[in-house]
Amino acid sequence: MKKIAVLTGAGISAESGISTFRDSDGLWEQHNVMDVASIEGWYKNPKLVLDFYNERRKQLETVEPNAAHKILHELENHFNVCVITQNVDNLHERAGSTNIIHLHGELTKVRSIADEDTVYDIGYKAINIGDTDKSGVQLRPHIVWFGEAVPMLNAAADKVAQADIIAIIGTSLNVYPAAGLVNYKKNGIPVFLINPNDVNPFHIQNLTLIQEKATTGVEKMRNILIEKYL
């Protein structure tokens, strides 16, 4: 089976009802990114940060995977698919995808501020100041904030380097190092870029630009993949 590395961002979950970050109605229009999604913000006002992610987690419980997430799962019947997502939602998992790398962490998981390796599943529950692990250390969201390292980066870069085909779906390609992952790909392999708006495609060769929303765009990509690349 050919290997596909799929890089996804907030846009793939937009049609499920989750706001993106940088569109005109996006989360960073309503919240100061450095207050709620940076390590400095956490030290300054942890309650504000916990409340922000509590709200995201609560909303996640109310939404469902859309056709784009589901088609990526179905593609596993024909290809070896690895989804590398910047999203902290669990919609790829809930659509059935089995090989997922979360670059920026996961909303439904927490860890203590003292131990980044012991991660707990909390589902859709809130965490508050005073909620601790067994040793009494405060819990924090299992999210990679601005100013923090991206532990899954090397694993993701390996998947991109091994891929025969790349798909980039619903990301503004604004945030590094995630946006630079495509540079690890083999030369000349097919790359699909699905986004209804203009994004910088880095002058990629062999690019198929599908300027559509994720649901219809991923369906078109699936048809091309099955017709041309099986």
Q: Where are the alpha helices (DSSP H) in the chain?
A: 11-14, 27-30, 33-36, 39-44, 46-60, 67-74, 91-95, 153-162, 214-228
Site for ligand OAD contains 23 (CB under 6 A): yes
Minimum distance of ligand OAD from residue 213's CB (angstroms): 4
Taking the least distance from each CB to ligand OAD, the nearer of 35 and 164 is 35
Distance CA 55, CA 61 (A): 10
Give residues 170-199 in contact with ligand OAD (rule: CB under 6 A). 170-172, 174-175, 195-197, 199
Phi/psi-derived region of residue 136, left when phi > 0, alpha when psi is between -120 and 50, beta in every other case: left
Residues forming the active site: 104
Site for ligand OAD contains 84 (CB under 6 A): no
Look at residue 54 and give its three-state secondary structure: helix
Distance CA 144, CA 14 (A): 21
Residue with tokens 């890089």: 7
Site for ligand OAD contains 90 (CB under 6 A): no
Token pair in block for residue 50? 């916990």
Mark 101-130 with x for binding to ligand OAD (rule: CB under 6 A) and - for no binding.
---x--------------------------
Minimum distance of ligand OAD from residue 67's CB (angstroms): 11
Site for ligand OAD contains 213 (CB under 6 A): yes
DSSP per-residue string spanning 94-119: HHT-S-EEETTEEEEEEEETTEEEEE
Among 5, 6, 20, 127, binds ligand OAD (CB under 6 A): 20
Minimum distance of ligand OAD from residue 42's CB (angstroms): 12
Minimum distance of ligand OAD from residue 230's CB (angstroms): 25
Chain contacts with ligand OAD (rule: CB under 6 A): 9-11, 14-15, 20-23, 26, 33, 37, 86, 104, 144-145, 170-172, 174-175, 195-197, 199, 213-214
